Each structure stands twice: as structure tokens, then as C-alpha cells.
Amino acid sequence: MVRIDPLVIKSIPTLLGEAVIMKSVLIMPGVQSVGEGTSGFNVRGGNTDQNLILIDQAPIYYPSHFFGNFSAINSEIISDATLYKGSMPINYGGRISSVFEINTIEGNHDKISGSTGISPISARANISGPLSDKSTYVVSFRSTYSNWLLGQFKVAELYKSKANFDDIHVKLNLFLNDKNSLLVSFYNSNDKFQLHSDTAYSYKNLIGSLILKHNFNPKLKLSTALISSLFNYNISNNGTTNESFILTHNLADLSFNNDFEYFTNSKMKYLFGADFNFYSVNPGERKALNNSNITPINSYNEHALEFAVYAGTEYDVSDKFKIEGGLRLSGLFSFNRQQEYIYAASMPYQVENIIDTLFNSGKSIGKVYMNPEWRFSLNYSINYFSSLKFSYNKTAQYIHMLSNTTAISPTDTWKLSDKLLLPETGNQISAGYFRSFNRNRIDFSVETYYKLVNNVKEYKAGADLLLNDHIETEIVNGKAKSYGFEFRVEKSGGRVYGQIDYTYSRTFIKSVSKFPEEQINNGEYFPANYDKPHNLNLLANLKASRRFIISTNLTYSTGRPITYPVAQYKLGNQIFLQYSKYNQYRIPDYFRTDLSLTLNGNLKKYQRTHSSVTFSVYNLTARKNAYSVYFISEGGKFDAYKLSIFGTVIPTLTYNLAF
């Protein structure tokens, strides 16, 4: 478990002038991304969809704005954030790798307060205050004016380009009486972009939460939550009359959670409860616009009910020894697809092997999955300054993001487990040593882990995932194994804050199929797309004076795997390439240094407003880091090209005002 301090988030030099919680997690050991300008993160060798991201207990399915460079949540209203990457709490499930729990501020009980900020790309504002003696509200709003900014660049490649987002978050903390409190939360975000073409993209998140907390007595507490999380995107083209279309994908997640805590005494606590998630997923539909010649494609919604019951305990055996353990029994009721394909027996799932089509009402249960998820951890305090920790986790995941690209995008689709698409299951053991020095001003930790995952989703060569009603023909189940070593030193207190994080990690995948034509690399293990063995992050923050702060960070990582052509041959007048084994080579290593300078305004305690100006420089050395390497045939020759996302220095000036 790693707690992320909001003050640390704000101290990290930024790309576009705003603190980004989703990027700050990347400086933590065991956490990586596939490259710059990408959304999502990989935890201990897990895929990006294997992370459960919660905002005030509500799941969010695409947690970024503006090509992954802004977080879905305004960092100014974050009260705390915790990443569980080893021992996952027993009340959480549904994902293999991690839980990223983000909680927003409760609101000011005494007076109206807030903050605002403006950068070259975006503007933000938030306000909070009392509703009554013990009830509060929080309102946050952000938007961009990047469309106007893009219009100022007279560059041919930016013609007809647009990119903007906005979001609003409203939260009410209502004190009902001495035993009951109610949290009401609403979140809505919208993103739109169109890059030098007639095709426009948009996606949105819409989340609503009602969380009732009830104290039966001082020993027994209940938290009941009703949460709705919706995600959808659409791709449209209105530029060509004969080819105008709109393509959509929708995901709806309605959950009902009951979590109990029972305290027998100061040394023992019991946790038990039940969760229910109802999913409705539309794989994708295409409709013709303006009487165009595009052939419409209609899909049937998929439905499933995920459930879990759990019970566990936290027990302080002694002043030095603490254990946590429990069992979470999870499962899925998968409803029959309204249209199902029947494949020939003892044959791989391929289009040519479809022998019949079955139509159902979509209201009957077609497949039931059930998995016991064991959770166990222990903490032994050697003395006041040091401790040993160990954990074992078994997890299961029933919803999957389908993407055959290295980096995720908002146009990837979500798919539920069913008769043909198996749920993923994972087992992880981890152990670590933790120590504090210099009166707890310096924290040191070293951890190691080993993880096995079954039924990871790999894709056949040239897999077509968009508007595919027989998606099982494009997917190959596989096994993944991950192991690593994590090292961390953090110095807090005083005028200097700093941390050093180093991770050595490996992730290998192999396809599992009894049919040779479906096996990748002949069924041997190969590095995952996000396998980056070495990752180093350094962060330093110096309070040069009461008003002037200097921050810098350095990031280094091994280049990610790639498949290169290793030979060519000629057949007639055509030249063909012979490629290496899958992911046998790597793109160049990644290195970046950032710097920020913050000047605070007058620090008088009782003035009405406090202002600050931050000047940040992203990619101080202007290094052209490779995001990808690709090959193009030109005049009968094949040339290699390197693509850099941010291949130059990017300065940003931000003004912040708090009141």
C-alpha cells in the first residue's frame, strides 16, 4: 500500500500546468506506463484494465482527459489517495492488479473557501462551505480553451484540429443525525477531439453515488452505497456526404454495496459484507448520417451480474504482530447473448468454423462463474523503527478492456466474460522490509513480489476488435508471470523533500491453446508490451525561502518491447519482410528531466486570498524519446522511423489563487 500526499502531487513539475494524480502515481515503485501521452498505468506487470480506480468509492472507466495529460479529477479537491498493489483490501474486488482509491475533500465546515487556477490550456475552480452545522458541500469545475489556442497555430497539420474537455464534480456531505450520515456525489466529464480530419471523437463519464453510513452502536458500523457509473464514446464523420456515420460504444455499471465493521475490542476488528454489480455493455453500433451509403451495424447489449460476499478480520496478536485475513467469494451470472454463434466441435474459434447461429431472449443465464479469493497479510514490527510484511492475494476479474494497441485509448471497448471469454484470475505473493530513520524523517523500503495470472487476453495477428460480433475469434487466452524488486527512499520534513524510487520488474506472457495456429511464438513465453525491466524516478523539492520553491524530477526507464523486421526476401517484383519473434527487441530507453519554480504571494495568515505563480519546464533536455518505431516501404526500400510525442522543451506558466 502506498499513500500519496496531495502536497507531493502538487510539487511534481507538470506538462500543461496542472497537478495530475494519474501521473503522480507513476513515480511510485512498481508502477509504470507504456510511454508519454498515454492514459492508464501498469502495476506490477498488470495490464491497464486490471486496475480498479475509485473516486469516492465509485469506479471510473476512463480516468483521463486530453490524451492522458489531465486526470479526470481536479487535484485541488483530493484529500487523500491510496494505491493498493500488494495486499488488496477484502472489501474490494473485480480487478487483478491494484485498487487506486481517491477520496475528495469533505468541505469546509466553518466558512466558504476555494481555489482557482489558469494555465495556457485550461482553467479550474472549486468552492466548498457549510450547508448547516455539520453538513458541507464541494463544487469543482474545469474546462479548456485549447480549441482557440490550436486555431492560433497556422500549421497545415493542425488544420481542422480541435481538442477540449470539461468536467464538473458536486459532493454533499449531509449529517442526518447522531447515527446517520449521507454522501451524495455527482460527476460528469466530456472530452472531444478532432485531429486534421473529418472524423471527430468524443467520450464521457457520468457517475452518481449515494452512500449512507450508519452506526448501530460504538462497535458495529454499516456503509451502504448505491453507485451508477456510465461510460460511452462516439466516433462521427460528417465531412463526406456518402460516408457520413456515427459509431458508439456504451458501458453501464450499477452497483450496490454493503460493508460492515464490527469491533470486539481494541485488538480485533471483523469485516464482512456483500457487493452486487449489474453490467450492461453495448459492444458498438454504427449508424448512417445524412442518408449516406454507410451500412448500419446494430449490436445486442450484453448483460451480467457480478456478485461477491466476503468476511475477514484484522487482529493485533501483540504489540509487534498484526495479521489480516479473509475470504472473498466472487462470481458472475452471465446472461445469454441475444445472438450466439455455434462453432464446430474440436475446432478453434474462427469465422470459417461457425456452423450455426442461435438467437436468445437475452434474459436467461448462460454461464455461471465462481472464484474464491483468499486474502492474507501479516506485519511484524521488529522495533519502533522497522517492520517486516508479507501478503498473499488471489483475485478475479470478469470485465475486460479489448485493445490490440500498446497504449489504451477512449475508443477501446469493454467486454464481459461469457461462455467463450473466460474470467482472469491472479495469484500474488509479496514481502517487504520497512524502516524509518532520523526521527521518521527518512523512510526506506524494499519489496519483492511474484504474480501469476490465468486467462490474460492476447490477440491474433491483425485482430479486428471494432464492431465485431464474434470477438472470440480474435482473442487468444494466455498466461502471465510477473516478478520484481522495488526500492524506495523518501525524505520529508525540513526545507528539502525528496524521494528515490527504483523498480526492477519483468512480465512474460504465453498463449495457451491446443491449436498450433493460435499460438504466439510457438507457445513460448514472450515479454509483454509493457515489460520495462528498469525504472528509476527521482523527485526533489527545495523550499529556497518562505515564498520560493524549486522542484525537479528525473525519470528513466528501459524501452518497451517491439517486433522488428530482421530480413527481407523478394518474390517476383515484390519485397517481403521477415519479422523477428514477437517482442524480441526494444525501442530506445526513455529519459526525461522536468523543472518547476513556484513563487507564492504574500503569506500573511489573515488575508482573504493567497496566490502563487508556477513556471514549469517539461523535458528540460529536449530529448526526443521514442514512443514507437515503425517501418515504411519507400521506392522498394524499407526505412525505420522513430516517433516522439514530446520531443522538445515545453514551458508552462500557471497562476493559482486560493481563498
Residue 23 main-chain phi, psi, to 5 deg: -90, -30
Residues 621, 593: contact at Cβ < 8 Å? yes
| Residue 604 in this model has a pLDDT that exceeds 80 | no
| Residue 556 in this model has a pLDDT that exceeds 90 | yes
Mean pLDDT of 628-647: 83
| Residue 603 in this model has a pLDDT that exceeds 80 | no
Residues 270, 264: contact at Cβ < 8 Å? yes
- The pLDDT tens digits for 372-404 are 999 999 999 999 999 999 999 999 999 999 987
Q: What is the pLDDT of residue 265?
A: 85
Mean pLDDT of 425-452: 95
Q: What is the pLDDT of residue 158?
A: 74
439 grid coordinates:
526521527
Predicted confidence band at 6 (pLDDT cuts at 50, 70, 90)? confident
Predicted confidence band at 408 (pLDDT cuts at 50, 70, 90)? low
Mean pLDDT of 360-368: 89
Tally of structural domains, the chain: 1
Q: What distance in Å separates the CA atoms of residue 551 and residue 14, rounded to the nearest whole number? A: 10
Q: What distance in Å separates the CA atoms of residue 604 and residue 609, rounded to the nearest whole number? A: 10
CB count within 10 Å of CB 76 equals 23
Q: What distance in Å separates the CA atoms of residue 651 and residue 653, rounded to the nearest whole number? A: 7
Residues 275, 260: contact at Cβ < 8 Å? no
Please give the torsion angle defined by the CA atoms of residues 32, 35, 39 and 44, in that order, rounded to the nearest 10 degrees.
-20
User: What percent of the chain shows pLDDT beyond 70?
Assistant: 99
Q: What distance in Å separates the CA atoms of residue 103 and residue 574, rounded to the nearest whole number? A: 59
The winner for highest mean pLDDT among 21-30, 107-116, 410-419 is 107-116
The CATH number linked to 125 is 2.40.170.20
Helices (H), 385-458: none
Structural domain span for residue 418: 2-658
Q: What distance in Å separates the CA atoms of residue 267 and residue 301, rounded to the nearest whole number? A: 49
| Residue 406 in this model has a pLDDT that exceeds 80 | no
| Residue 338 in this model has a pLDDT that exceeds 70 | yes
Mean pLDDT of 178-202: 92
Predicted confidence band at 37 (pLDDT cuts at 50, 70, 90)? confident
The winner for highest mean pLDDT among 66-75, 171-180, 517-526 is 171-180
Q: What distance in Å separates the CA atoms of residue 609 and residue 376, rounded to the nearest whole number? A: 48
Predicted confidence band at 632 (pLDDT cuts at 50, 70, 90)? confident
| Residue 605 in this model has a pLDDT that exceeds 80 | no
DSSP of 308-332:
EEEEEEEEE-SSSEEEEEEEEEEEE
| Residue 486 in this model has a pLDDT that exceeds 90 | yes
> Is the backbone of residue 196 left (phi > 0), alpha (psi -120 to 50) or beta?
left
